Amino acid sequence: MADYKNFTVETDADGIALVTWNMPDRSMNVFTEEVMDELEKIVEEVAGDEAIKGAVITSGKETFSGGADLTMLQKMLGLFETEKKKDRDKAIRLLFDGAGRMSWLWRKLETSGKPWVSAINGTCMGGAFELSLACHGRVAADSDKVKMALPEVKVGIFPGAGGTQRVPRLTNTQDALQMLTTGQNLSPKKAKSMGLVHEVVPPKKLVEAAKKMIKDGLKPVQPWDEKGFKLPGGPVYSAAGANLWPPAIAILRRETYGNYPAATAILKCVYEGLLVPFDTALTIEQRYFTQIMQTTEAKMMIRSLFVSLQELNKGARRPVDVPARKLKKVGVLGAGFMGAGIAFVTAKAGIPVVLVDRDQEAADKGKAHSAKLMDALIKKGRASEADKEKLLSLITATPDYQELEGAGLVIEAVFEDSSIKKEATEKAEAVLKSSAIFASNTSTIPITSLAKNSKRPKNFIGIHFFSPVDKMMLVEIIMGKRTGDKALAVAMDYVRAIRKTPIVVNDTRGFYVNRCVLRYMQEAFSMLIEGVPPAMIENGAKMAGMPVGPLALTDETAIDLAQKIMKQTIRDLGEKAVDPRHMELIDTMVDKHGRHGRKNRKGFYDYPEKPAKKHLWPGLKELYRQKPAEAVDIEEVKQRLLVTIALEAARVMEEGIVTDPREADVGSILAFGFAPYTGGALSYIDGMGAARFVGIAKRLQKKYGKGFKPPKLLVDMAESGETFYQRFAPESAGEVRKKAA
């Protein structure tokens, strides 16, 4: 056997080759062009060596593989865009051939005449699971660390290396469609029950069990290549097919509103592929994959939800000249819902945390929140009692600020009142070393203002979590005017340690996320006042791709909180800062009807006792004269809700509040679910082009007012033909600069 960079091949006395994948320069194995070139040579050598009876492929790392390196797909798309300008037909052919490389390599493996077994020892995703499905046998380790999935639909594409054809030939069609269109993770036992793996064995016996399959006479032929093969779910044209396909199409439409071309393509691939021989089916899949790769949705989702997300998670915006710091102790001031949540995620990351509140009872109540969250995980089988005890042992609940001594980072999460925050800051700083970093979790008060309470403003920063802390994956790191690089580096190291995604935001009222969210809610208030039926507002938002309607979101965050924010804004910025119609609406809801939102079970929705579901409050019809549904343009409703958010994101970029478009896009999706198929608030603009977007905004401005006026930045970009990713080239690590005035 030849020497390989990414694989080792060892043949035992029984003639079984053990192919171990272990990329030397990566923490996780991924498919690159080099890896596929090497794997093809290995397949050819195994097939051509009479002394080799079969092969087992496994990983030398804790995980099996994360699948394809999607930056490879980005390069493929870049080449396509370049070639398209010269010869469109040739460009499409190149894209088609590139899209089929992996698919036909796996086909080469499964028709090589030698049995192959995949020994899955850890996470096995995307193309790696498609490789495993092409193997004649599949053995998975019985471990919580083993997860298998074809998650490509989550980044705008679909399993294009045979996944849409092998899965429905191994399991029933309904389960196959569910798995493919959602990208769901499968445990080893679930995969076995579906027929996608043959055996689940203890981790130490994994390779032994895989070799045994070959020694026991595993056939080097896939079921679909044998005469008389029958589909597990029955033929497409059958009674079973007639009961499956019409509702499957309707369910997908209901869940996606046609916003995700890749999900629709999966149904087409499976439907058409099951009607023809396997090789023809692979060509059908390759054709649809080529089409999907050319869509705006695929380009934007790959960039934001894979490439940019990975870069930010790796600390792309962290100052490189500040040494990495591993926190040995973190303090959290305030044991309310947010503070308790912060303490939980900190302890879950294995970091000792001191949770401080006004008295022992309040502090203990905050710690009990962690116990409750762990109980829920235990009930779902995701944690043990030992895990719970270990986590709780890391949390010290106390009213004594002296316990903060030695903490490298303290996060203040007390009530949104400047005087209370001032007192907490001063008490903590009296105990902390001068090198410690102090962070505020405020969601409304500017960090620069709060930093005035500190004796060391260079070490003062904002770390803004979203609720519920344990579930929300985004954290805004807020730079005050005097915040230093050390504070930023420590904040980023902490956010990465608790496995959340950090974005860096310069100081302003509402920061980035809340400014966008408030625009979303305010546009819904305007529509309600105009007489747009509330159901059309909420459904229009979901049709536009938002996970939660703006009225439901207002209920979740609390209507009385919206009232407080509006009143505070008027006090700070004057009467003109808030639309008086909105103020009247919110005052009516809170003061006249006592509707505070979900927390008191009365808001824009009513929240009856379970099992009854929430429903829009009938009284909304009485507040404003409603237009008949046929008089409302639902496409315009969708457009208004997305455009108002995108305009605010553009203003934030213009003001220098956010300086990196990756953070604006990823932040908008992770924080409030901005239509993921667009790639984020700025990619929504880039995807259609600034000129077209400005045209839409100006039309809406003429009809609905100054809120839709495009900022000068966008007008300039429309004239120059620039995109945000061209004008604001993402900053490399260490180039974080505060650009806000």
Host H or E run for residue 440: strand 437-440
The residue with tokens 């343009």 is 633
Tokens of 50: 């009479």
| Closest to 286 measured CA to CA, from 125, 97, 84, 33 | 97
**Residue 577 identity:** A
Phi, psi at residue 571, to the nearest 5°?
-65, -40
- List 125's β-bridge partners, or say none: 149
Quick check: helix, strand or coil at residue 544? coil
Phi-psi region of 87 (alpha: psi -120 to 50; beta: other; left: phi over 0): beta
Residues 92, 291: Cα–Cα separation, whole Å:
9
| Closest to 469 measured CA to CA, from 347, 640, 375 | 347
Neighbours of 415 (CB within 10 A): 10
Tokens of 519: 């625009």
Tokens of 535: 């159901």
The residue annotated as part of the active site, out of 198, 369, 464, 582, is 464
Which runs of consecutive H residues, i.e. helices, occur in 54-157? 70-84, 88-110, 127-134
- List 463's β-bridge partners, or say none: 477
| Closest to 210 measured CA to CA, from 136, 147, 143 | 136
Residue 702: Cβ-neighbour burial (10 angstroms; 0-12, 13-18, 19+): exposed
Going by their DSSP bridges, the two strands 54-59 and 124-125 should be labelled as: unpaired
464 is catalytic: yes
Query: Is the CB of residue 444 less than 8 Å from the CB of residue 470?
Result: no
Residues 433, 453: Cα–Cα separation, whole Å:
16
Q: What angle do CA 47, 52, 57 make, to 5 degrees?
A: 75
Cα dihedral sign for 508, 509, 511, 515?
Answer: negative
| Closest to 5 measured CA to CA, from 24, 26, 30 | 24
The residues that are catalytic are 464
